[in-house]
Structure 1
Amino acid sequence: MLEHIKAVLFDLDGTLVDSMWVWNDIDVEYLGRFGLSLPETLQKEIEGMSFTETAVYIKQKFSIPDPIEKMKEDWNAMAFDKYVNEVPLKKGVPEFLALCRKKGIRLGIATSNSRQLVDAIIASHGLTEYFDGIVTGCEVNRGKPWPDVYLETARRCGVSPEHCLVFEDIVPGMQAGRNAGMKVCAVADAYSVYQEKEKRELADYYIEDFTEITK
């Protein structure tokens, strides 16, 4: 899998960290503030969108009166403590990062989440020093499935796309990696289990967790 690979690029939520449950709770609580219930289809509708794109979509869909920046501030505040204290790494992540470093492979994160939360969670797990490039969807023109965030992460890592391997847990993210001209490994996650067949078809590789590689 790592042959000819010079950079490994990760999605964050559902890939490096087991955090998708956080956002279901936040969506319920946040919409409840406005007397709204969470539609079952919302997570599917916003998959791959950047933090800002998600705020714009939800503001329009539910006629939220708050400005976009206020919405994002509220979400960051609601998620911060959980990300720092409750969200675990996916199984085998520390060992896999160490293996990549040993092989001289550069590491990056390309996430739809906010910079505040990605910085907080990698710091809480002592992983900040591992990453050569971290890019959020809000720093590029278009979120996933467009390739922008992966291309920019590869650029910051100083590696051309054809030498990059992407790890992703959802179909739009995998499509973003594909659209960037990169190899893609699908990562199993409980919140995207309904996409397993499509993920396997899209992926060059599929893993249940990172111990499959480090073993």
Structure 2
Amino acid sequence: MLQGKKAVLFDLDGTLVDSMWMWKEIDVLYLGRLGKELPPGLQRDIEGMSFTETAVYFKETFDIPESIGEIKEIWLSMARDKYLWEVPLKAGVPEFLKVLKEKGIKTGICSSNSIELVEAVLRTHGIDGCFQKIRTCCDVPHGKPAPDIYLKVAEDLQVAPEECMVFEDIPMGILAGKNAGMSTCAVEDAFSRDQEEEKRRLADYYIASYYDVINGTYEEV
């Protein structure tokens, strides 16, 4: 899988950490305080959007009185403790990052989340020093499935797109990597289990955990 690759680029939520479940909880609580209910399928509608794009979507869709900045601050406050105490790393992450370091392969984070939360969760798990570049979709014109974030981090790392491997947990993220001209690996995640068939169709590889990469038990799909 990694033959000829000079950089590995990761999404964060659902890819490196098991956190997708908590955002539905936060959305339910956030809308509940406004007397509104979470519509079915909302999580799918906002997949791939940047933190700012998601706040704009919520404000316009639910006629929220707070400003975009205020919405984001409320979400940050609601998410921070969960990231610190309730969100574990995906199986095999520390071991895989060690392998990449030993091989001299560069690493980057390409997340749709806010930079504050990305940095907080990486620090919590002691892996913040394992990545040469950390960016979010707020740093580029368009969120996923546009290739912007992946192309930007590849440029930062001075690595050609075809020399990059992308790890993602949802179809929109996999498409972003493919649209950037990169190889893609779908990561199993409970939140996107109903999308597994689509993930397998879009990606080049599929893993249940990062031990599959280390042990060579990944699937070519």
The 2-side partners of 1:154 and 1:138 are apart by 16
Tell me which residue corresponds to 1:183.
183
Spell out the pairing of 1:191-206 with structure 2 (5 A cutoff): 191-206=191-206
The 2-side partners of 1:133 and 1:156 are apart by 7
Tell me which residue corresponds to 1:46.
46
Tell me which residue corresponds to 1:55.
55
For normalisation by structure 2, the TM-score amounts to: 0.96
After TM superposition, give the deviation of residue 214 of structure 1 in Å: 1.4
- Could you list the runs of 5+ residues in structure 2 that have no partner in the other structure? 216-221
Tell me which residue corresponds to 1:76.
76
SS in 1 for 2:206: strand
Identity over aligned pairs, percent: 59
8 Å CA contact 1:137–1:149 kept in 2: the answer is: yes
SS in 2 for 1:181: coil
SS in 2 for 1:70: helix
8 Å CA contact 1:132–1:156 kept in 2: the answer is: no
Tell me which residue corresponds to 2:155.
155
Residue type of the alignment partner of 2:52? T
Residue type of the alignment partner of 1:166? V
After TM superposition, give the deviation of residue 34 of structure 1 in Å: 0.4
The 2-side partners of 1:43 and 1:170 are apart by 11
After TM superposition, give the deviation of residue 128 of structure 1 in Å: 1.1
SS in 2 for 1:113: coil
Tell me which residue corresponds to 1:33.
33
Count of aligned positions: 215
Deviations 1:148-176 (A, max 9, x none): 00011111122111100000000000000
CA RMSD of aligned residues (A): 0.6
1:212 equivalent in alignment to 2:212: yes
The 2-side partners of 1:153 and 1:185 are apart by 17
After TM superposition, give the deviation of residue 40 of structure 1 in Å: 1.6
The 1-side partners of 2:101 and 2:183 are apart by 19
Tell me which residue corresponds to 2:91.
91
The 1-side partners of 2:25 and 2:191 are apart by 13
After TM superposition, give the deviation of residue 199 of structure 1 in Å: 0.7
1:173 equivalent in alignment to 2:173: yes
Residue type of the alignment partner of 2:111? T
In the TM superposition, structure 1's runs of 4+ consecutive aligned residues that sit over 4 Å from their partners are none
The 1-side partners of 2:201 and 2:114 are apart by 29
After TM superposition, give the deviation of residue 39 of structure 1 in Å: 1.1
Tell me which residue corresponds to 2:144.
144
The 1-side partners of 2:146 and 2:170 are apart by 13
Deviations 1:9-46 (A, max 9, x none): 00000000000111011001000010001112100100
Tell me which residue corresponds to 2:129.
129
